[in-house]
């Protein structure tokens, strides 16, 4: 049942590093994280890797497996060819701390910059009424497990460190879309802020984020594109522009 | 300033309250303490928002009566007491039943989006042991919704502080990936906590008159478990070492339905909602065996034949519930008996099938994570075939002995505990859905209790250099262990593995005096070996080093479980069966 697999694991820290090769057994039904744990228990007791639930629910074990951003706990060993070497590296878009662990604090900073949900004061606890169909749009985005694979793969960040300052990234575009489509949220200028403060315009909808999302959230189609379209409506439609000036309403 | 052997100075912080654990209970406690005007440090072992709460699936129990208006706190209280075989702390069960609806509605005012009823209210689903549909839910990812809502509430409060004071972290700061190794005391009272950054190994000392433990459970002491790596009993051990007491430790819940195949996912949770939404349990003979396992105390509430059980899904007023929805301990023991009698499935479980009751698209909508989990990890399509399931270590009812109203740990002034780490609320068996509500109700109470304690305090205890030095020495120990021969040194991973094997086989669902005594002896010898486990490498993000501390805690709680089980002298107290 057990077969041998060759793992090529990046080891190092912010200063230096390189690949270490190791061959370990892999059993039926195992995922990459199982094999990494076996390496840890038998070959490299100090191999740094983040993980929590091992069930695809917490989004901790994000790394790049054969160059692709993946969750190690949801990547089955039988998805590789017999005899194929499996290369694991830390997420490329974020600074390495040690081995497979990166500093993802960028994402927590960005989370702090997105205005929080605002509940209508007049609605006391228990009084809210919403239809299922109306909450479902935002619920899709609330499935996000914050694995940050979308952030890692997004080339606006991945290849351009300098963009990090002005670009929130796909994870936070779906957060903005979620609040924008929330039936009760009071803030009315979320789309405009997405454009002006969070760099929505820099996204050129290549859908890489959607492809890597382990929760299969349709980030580009259901969050980014609808927001982009409505920002354009607001900005360039002369009647809406005039309306916004006359009625002094902020945003849409 | 004290300098550590890690080479850098000990970081020191002063707060009013230190909350250890950033799951549902910890975050709710932090919000409450902050709103009372206190400065709060939130400490989490992993990244912010990854706590084990995220794995809760089915829902949060609260008698809002949105689906069946006959529900109310008294019915919820009765169900909880009955589920816990009346061994619950009744006051905790009362507070929990009374306050959980407010805690759920409060989440909605912070942006949570629960599934809805037709008239637009929060929908509620059926669950084992609950008389009425009672669990507010979001598909089968309710825990994620809860943790994200709480996380975003913390961020909202920080944003407000930033606006008002120019500093987002003036009142609440999150210390992510930090492990606490010791509760510090001064003259019998809590004075703070000591720990280290997992990322660098750097040491941190918090001076704070109140510490809230919200560290969750102990599942990683067992081999087959639904728990994440964090469930290593840290809070249980910290409380015990600080002079607190643990109660009811023999009560460990084995969830009846964990995955059994493939081996690498053995124990992974299969939500009770599968049964709540119509899933039935059958053995290798194709029989719905649960009809043979209805205990006397539940006979008036559960159907004794298939026809009535099936009718219940459409007419709940005139039929009794299917026995698949008995409390977890009953179902787990029944499955265990079926497997032992040779009527198990191919891989040593039983069958759970929802595909015959619901159409495929409804299953995918109501149980999206389950569908996903089986499809991706086991190549099983649950809309077409049955799942194979078996018992998995899920939850510990036992924990820190606390005052029900304030969550103050008995015997240790300044220490508080809420959520899974606290004992008493659930008696000998927790009902599904009562955990998320427990987190919110008692998380809030712990935050309020800590705030009240701090405000009433005249002179604050302090952290001495001596206390820090002693904590530093313990932290350093795993690096300094020397063994005469290389072959004498121990691998912490191996010891952990052996501990899991032994608890699983000797302290599992059914226990005997002989096996428990055997377990205690073996735990002793593992402890002696663990004392020789040397950490290889450096301090920076070193899992082997981290494990040496987790291992100490797991050995201690495993011993507590075995001792409690032994001391209950031959009495079968439900989840603890002898």
Q: Are residues A123 and A232 in the same domain?
A: yes
Contact yes or no for A28 and B262 at CB 8 A: yes
Q: Which of A42, A57, A125 sits opposite B54 (nearest CB)?
A: A57
Chain B residue numbers touching A59 (CB-CB < 8 A): 50
Domain end (from A56, A85, A102): A102
- Asked if the Cβ–Cβ distance from A182 to B113 is below 8 Å, we say yes
pLDDT at B3: 41
Assess whether A123 and A179 both reside in one domain: yes
CATH number of domain containing A158? 1.10.1060.10
Give yes or no: residues B138 and B212 share one domain.
yes
Give the end of a domain, one of A102, A129, A162: A102
End-of-domain residue from the set A57, A83, A102 = A102
Q: Write out the two tokens for B283.
A: 């053995």
Residues of chain B with Cβ-Cβ distance to A185 below 8 Å are 111
Q: Least CB-CB distance to B536: which of A46, A51, A115?
A: A46
Measure in Å the smallest separation between the Cα of A167 and chain B Cα atoms.
Answer: 19
Contact B110/A at CB under 8 A: yes
Strands B415-417 and B210-213, sheet pairing: parallel
Chain A CB within 8 Å of residue B489 CB: no
pLDDT tens for chain B, residues 1 to 578: 444 455 568 999 999 999 999 999 999 999 999 999 999 999 999 999 999 999 998 999 999 999 999 999 999 999 999 999 999 999 999 999 999 999 999 999 999 999 999 999 999 999 999 999 999 999 989 999 999 999 999 999 999 999 999 999 999 999 999 999 999 999 999 999 999 999 999 999 999 999 999 999 999 999 999 998 899 999 999 999 999 999 999 999 999 999 998 888 899 999 988 998 899 999 999 999 999 999 998 999 999 999 999 999 889 889 999 999 999 999 999 999 999 999 999 999 999 999 999 999 999 988 988 998 999 899 999 999 999 999 999 999 999 999 999 999 999 999 999 999 999 999 999 999 999 999 999 999 999 999 999 999 999 999 999 999 999 999 999 998 876 676 677 899 999 999 999 999 999 988 899 999 999 999 999 999 999 998 888 999 999 999 999 999 999 999 999 999 998 854 555 456 65
A2 touches chain B (CB under 8 A): no
Query: Domain range holding A204?
Result: 105-246
Does A8 lie in the same domain as A83? yes
Q: Which pLDDT does position B577 carry in this prediction?
A: 65
Q: Tell me if A252 is assigned to some domain.
A: no
Q: Where are the alpha helices (DSSP H) in B457-542?
A: 465-480, 492-506, 513-530
Does B152 reach chain A within 8 Å, measured CB to CB?
yes
Cα A73 to the center of its chain, rounded Å: 16
pLDDT on residue B244: 97
Same-domain check for residues A124 and A89: no
Q: Are residues B177 and B281 in the same domain?
A: no
Structural domain count, chain B: 3
Cβ contacts (< 8 Å) between B116 and chain A: which residues? 130-132, 135
Among the partner residues A30, A51, A55, nearest to B55 by beta-carbon distance: A55
The pLDDT tens digits along chain A (252 residues) read: 578 999 999 999 999 999 999 999 999 889 999 999 999 999 999 999 999 999 999 999 999 999 999 999 999 999 999 899 999 999 999 999 999 999 999 999 999 999 999 999 999 999 999 999 999 999 999 999 999 999 999 999 999 999 999 999 999 999 999 999 999 999 988 999 999 999 999 999 999 999 999 999 999 999 999 999 988 877 777 777 676 666 555 444
Residue A237 and residue A160 share a domain:
yes
B15: containing domain: 11-251+397-456
Handedness of CA A213, A215, A216, A217 (dihedral sign): negative
Residues of chain A numbered 143-172 and touching chain B (CB < 8 Å): 143-146
B360 touches chain A (CB under 8 A): no
Q: Are the beta carbons of A58 and A50 closer than 8 angstroms?
A: no
Question: Do A40 and A146 fall within a single domain?
Answer: no
Q: Which of residues 299-358 of B touch A (CB under 8 A)?
A: none
With CA atoms as reference, the chain A residue closest to B158 would be A112
Strand spans (E) along B198-271? 203-207, 210-213, 246-247, 252-259
Q: How far apart are CA A119 and CA B179, in angstroms?
A: 35
> SS3 for B311?
helix
Contacts of B69 by beta carbon, 8 Å cutoff, 6+ apart: none
Structural tokens at position A96: 């390495």
Same domain, A128 and A25: no
CA–CA gap between residue B248 and residue B270 (Å, rounded): 26
Neighbour count for residue B202 (Cβ, 10 Å): 18
One domain for residues A75 and A130: no
Asked if residue A251 belongs to a domain, the reply is no
Q: Comparing C-alpha atoms, which of A198, A195, A235 is closest to residue A245?
A: A235
My answer on whether B36 and B151 are in the same domain is yes
Model pLDDT for residues A115-157, shown as the tens digit of each residue: 999 999 999 999 999 999 999 999 999 999 999 999 999 999 9
Per-residue pLDDT, A237: 74
**Domain check: are A97 and A109 in the same one?**
no
Pick B120's closest partner by Cβ from A46, A57, A131. Answer: A131
- Is residue B178 included in any domain, yes or no? yes
Q: Looking at residue A231, what is its pLDDT?
A: 86
Can you state the percent helix, strand and coil of chain B, rounding each to 5? 40, 15, 40
Residues A214, A226, single domain; the answer is yes
* Interface touch B545/A46, C-beta < 8 Å: yes
């Amino acid at each position: 049942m057990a077969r041998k697999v060759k793992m090529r694991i990046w080891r190092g820290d912010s200063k230096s590093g390189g690949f270490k090769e190791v061959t370990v057994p892999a059993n039926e039904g195992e995922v990459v994280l199982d094999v990494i744990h076996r390496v840890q228990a038998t070959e490299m007791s100090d191999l740094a890797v983040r993980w929590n639930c091992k069930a695809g629910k917490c989004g901790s074990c994000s790394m790049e497996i054969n160059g692709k951003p993946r969750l190690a706990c949801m990547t089955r060993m039988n998805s590789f060819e017999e005899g194929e070497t499996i290369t694991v590296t830390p997420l490329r878009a974020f600074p390495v701390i040690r081995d497979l662990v990166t500093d993802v604090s960028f994402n927590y900073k960005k989370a702090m910059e997105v205005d929080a949900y605002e509940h209508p004061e007049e609605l006391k606890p228990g009084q809210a009424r919403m239809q299922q169909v109306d909450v479902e749009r935002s619920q899709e985005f609330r499935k996000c497990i914050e694995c940050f694979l979308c952030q890692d793969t997004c080339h606006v960040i991945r290849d351009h460190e300098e963009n990090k300052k002005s670009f929130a990234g796909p994870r936070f575009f779906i957060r903005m879309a979620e609040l924008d489509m929330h039936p009760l949220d009071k803030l009315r200028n979320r789309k405009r802020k997405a454009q002006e403060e969070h760099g929505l315009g820099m996204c050129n909808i290549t859908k890489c984020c959607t492809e890597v999302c382990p929760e299969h959230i349709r980030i580009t189609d259901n969050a980014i594109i609808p927001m982009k379209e409505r920002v354009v409506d607001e900005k360039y439609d002369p009647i809406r522009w005039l309306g916004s000036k006359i009625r002094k309403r902020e945003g849409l | 300033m004290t300098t550590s052997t890690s080479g850098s100075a000990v970081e020191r912080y002063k707060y009013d309250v230190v909350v250890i654990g950033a799951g549902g209970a910890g975050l709710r406690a932090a919000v409450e303490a902050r709103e009372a005007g206190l400065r709060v440090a939130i400490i989490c072992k992993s990244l912010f928002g990854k706590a084990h709460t995220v794995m809760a699936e089915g829902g949060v129990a609260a008698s809002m009566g949105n689906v069946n208006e006959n529900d109310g706190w008294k019915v919820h209280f009765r169900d909880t007491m009955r589920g816990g075989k009346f061994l619950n702390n009744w006051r905790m069960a009362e507070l929990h039943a009374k306050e959980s609806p407010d805690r759920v509605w409060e989440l909605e005012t912070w942006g949570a989006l629960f599934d809805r009823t037709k008239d637009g209210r929060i929908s509620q689903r059926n669950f084992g042991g609950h008389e009425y549909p009672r669990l507010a839910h979001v598909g089968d990812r309710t825990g994620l919704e809860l943790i994200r809502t709480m996380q975003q509430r913390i961020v909202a409060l920080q944003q407000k502080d930033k606006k008002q004071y120019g500093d987002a972290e003036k009142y609440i700061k999150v210390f992510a990936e930090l492990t606490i190794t010791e509760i510090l005391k001064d003259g019998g009272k809590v004075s703070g906590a000591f720990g280290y950054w997992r990322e660098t190994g750097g040491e941190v000392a918090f001076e704070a008159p109140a510490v809230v433990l919200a560290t969750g459970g102990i599942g990683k002491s067992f081999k087959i478990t639904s728990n994440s790596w964090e469930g290593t009993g840290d809070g249980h051990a910290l409380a015990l070492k600080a002079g607190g007491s643990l109660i009811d430790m023999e009560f460990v819940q084995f969830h009846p339905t964990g995955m059994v195949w493939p081996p690498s996912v053995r124990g992974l949770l299969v939500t009770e909602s599968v049964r709540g939404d119509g899933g039935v349990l059958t053995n290798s003979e194709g029989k719905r065996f649960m009809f043979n396992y209805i205990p006397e105390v539940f006979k008036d509430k559960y159907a004794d034949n298939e026809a009535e059980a099936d009718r219940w899904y459409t007419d709940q007023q005139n039929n009794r519930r299917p026995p698949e929805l008995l409390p977890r301990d009953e179902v787990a023991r029944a499955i265990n008996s079926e497997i032992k009698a040779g009527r198990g499935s191919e891989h040593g479980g039983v069958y759970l099938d929802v595909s015959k009751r619901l159409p495929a698209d409804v299953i995918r909508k109501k149980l999206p994570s389950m569908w996903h989990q089986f499809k991706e990890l086991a190549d099983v399509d649950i809309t077409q075939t049955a799942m194979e399931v078996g018992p998995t270590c899920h939850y510990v009812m036992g924990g820190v002995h606390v005052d029900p109203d304030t969550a103050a740990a008995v015997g240790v002034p300044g220490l508080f505990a809420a959520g899974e780490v606290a004992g008493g609320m659930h008696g000998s068996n927790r009902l599904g859905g009562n955990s998320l509500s427990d987190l919110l109700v008692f998380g809030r109470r712990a935050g309020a209790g800590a705030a009240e304690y701090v405000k009433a305090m005249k002179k604050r205890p302090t952290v001495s250099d001596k206390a820090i030095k002693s904590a530093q020495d313990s932290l350093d120990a795993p690096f300094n262990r020397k063994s005469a021969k290389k072959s004498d040194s121990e691998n912490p991973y191996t010891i952990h593995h052996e501990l899991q094997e032994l608890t699983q086989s000797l302290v599992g669902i059914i226990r005997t005096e002989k096996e428990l005594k055997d377990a205690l002896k073996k735990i002793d010898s593992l402890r002696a070996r663990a004392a020789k486990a040397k950490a290889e490498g450096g301090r920076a993000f070193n899992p082997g080093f981290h494990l040496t501390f987790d291992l100490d805690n797991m050995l201690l709680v495993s011993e507590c479980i075995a001792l409690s089980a032994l001391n209950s002298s031959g009495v079968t107290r439900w989840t603890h069966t002898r």
